Amino acid sequence: MHYHWDFAQIWHYAPLFRTGIEYTLGFTLVSMLCGMALGLVLALARRTGFRPLTLPLGLFAEIFRCTPALVQLVWFYYALPVLLGISLSPATAALMALSIYGGVFYAEIFLSGLANIEPGQWDAGRALGMTPAVLMLRIILPQALRRMRGPLVSQGVLQLKNTSLVSVVTVPDLVYQGQLVASATYRPLEVYSTIAVIYFCLLFPLTQAARLLDRGVA
C-alpha cells in the first residue's frame, strides 16, 4: 500500500471534465423531459382501460423495466439501425434508450400518483362541468405532482447516474472523458475518485433540496 496519490496532473485536464459535466447534465435534462412526457402519455393511455391500447403498452413497458439500461443502450446503437435500415448517431441512440428507460418508470410514478387522488376530486370537477383535459390539468395533476415529488426526485437521481452508461457508445459524458484522462495520465485511481466526487456534488444538493421541500409542505 505505497500508492502515491497525485491529483496535480489531473487538474490540467479540467476542461475535459467540464465538457463531461455538460454532457452528463444535458443528457440528464433532455432524457428526463422526454422520459416524463413519454411516461405521462403511457400512464394516461393505460388509465383508459382500453385493452387494445393497454396490453401492448403494458408489454412495451415491461420489456424496458425488465432489461438493463446498458443492454438497451447498446441495442439501440447497434441493433435498431440494422432493423430499421437507418443510421443513428451515438447521442441519438443514447437519448432514445435513456428516455424510454426512464419513461416506463415515470409512467409507474404517474400511475400511482393519479391512483392516490381521492375519487371525490374527480367527481367534484366533473360535476362542475370540467372537460377531462381541464380536470386533469387544473385539479388532478397539481395534487398528484405534489405527492409524486419524492419518487420523481429519486428517479431523477437514477436518471443522472444512468447517463454514465452513454460512455460505452462514445458519448463524451463525465465517465467517457474520465477514461480519456485516465489513459493519458495513467492515473485511473485519481481520475475515478475525482469523477465520483463530481457526481456526488451534482446530486447531493438535489436530494437535500427535495428533502427540505418535502418537509416544508408535509
Q: At its nearest, how many Å lie between another protein and the CB of residue 116?
A: 13
Stretch touching another protein by CB under 8 A, among 8-16, 65-73, 119-127, 193-201: 119-127
Helix (H) or strand (E) holding 80: helix 80-84
DSSP, collapsed to helix, strand or coil, labels residue 88 as coil
Stretch touching another protein by CB under 8 A, among 5-13, 74-82, 93-101, 118-126: 118-126
Residue closer to another protein, measured from CB, 94 or 135: 135
Residue 145 is given by DSSP the state: H
Exposure string (b/e) for 142-169, b if CB count within 10 Å is 16 or more? eebeebbeebbbebbbebbebbbbbbeb
Footprint of another protein on residues 121-140 (CB under 8 A)? 121, 123-130, 134, 138-139
How many residues make contact with another protein (CB under 8 A)?
17
Residue 99 burial (10 A CB sphere; 0-12, 13-18, 19+) = buried
Residue closer to another protein, measured from CB, 87 or 118: 118
- Does the protein bind another protein through residue 146 (CB under 8 A)? yes
Q: At its nearest, how many Å lie between another protein and the CB of residue 134?
A: 5
Alpha-carbon distance of 213 to 113, in angstroms, equals 18
Residues 28 and 160: beta-carbon distance below 8 Å: yes
Q: At its nearest, how many Å lie between another protein and the CB of residue 110?
A: 17
Q: Which residues bind another protein (CB under 8 A)?
A: 118, 120-121, 123-130, 134, 138-139, 142-143, 146
